Amino acid sequence: NAGVTQTPKFQVLKTGQSMTLQCAQDMNHNSMYWYRQDPGMGLRLIYYSASEGTTDKGEVPNGYNVSRLNKREFSLRLESAAPSQTSVYFCASTGQALEETQYFGPGTRLLVL
């Protein structure tokens, strides 16, 4: 049981390049989330997927797109990377139980030059 996994762990991009961050969970969770974490800003929600087949914008969705490929996988795409997207990106998932909380992946560190 690996929990939430993310790839890659670290990536350097040039401005304008595109890339996809991958996330997978093996806990049979319905809901999945993408956050970014910046110094002094805390965790900010980019997009989330309450269930397979649905996605919704979070607090900071501009410049990003997501795909809920199936119940296990939720990817985040940067179509044209900008230096402002330099950050640490975390994927999380949660089940449906009343007291269920979020389980986080190890993060992807992205540097956009």
Partner 1 sequence: QKEVEQDPGPLSVPEGAIVSLNCTYSNSAFQYFMWYRQYSRKGPELLMYTYSSGNKEDGRFTAQVDKSSKYISLFIRDSQPSDSATYLCAMKRGSNYKLTFGKGTLLTVNP
For partner 1, the closer of residues 14 and 39 by Cβ is 39
Q: Report the alpha-carbon distance of residue 93 to residue 44 in Å, rounded.
A: 15
Contacting residues for 43 by C-beta, under 8 A, at least 6 apart? 35, 36, 37, 90
Residue ranges in contact with partner 1 by CB under 8 A: 4, 33, 40-43, 45, 48, 50, 58, 90, 96-107, 109
State the DSSP string of 5-65: EEE-SEEEE-TT--EEEEEEE-S--SEEEEEEEETTTEEEEEEEESSTT--EE-S--TTEE
- Work out how close the CB of 58 gets to partner 1 at its nearest, in angstroms, rounded to a whole number: 7
Specify the amino acid at residue 93.
S
Could you tell me the smallest distance in angstroms from the CB atom of residue 96 to partner 1? 7
The CB-of-16 to partner 1 minimum distance in angstroms stands at 28
Q: Which is nearer to partner 1, 17 or 50 (CB)?
A: 50
* In the complex, minimum distance from the CB of residue 57 to partner 1, in angstroms, rounded to a whole number: 11
Give the tokens for residue 91: 């994927």
Output 17 or 43, the one with its CB closest to partner 1: 43
When the beta carbons of 17 and 30 are compared against partner 1, the nearer one is 30
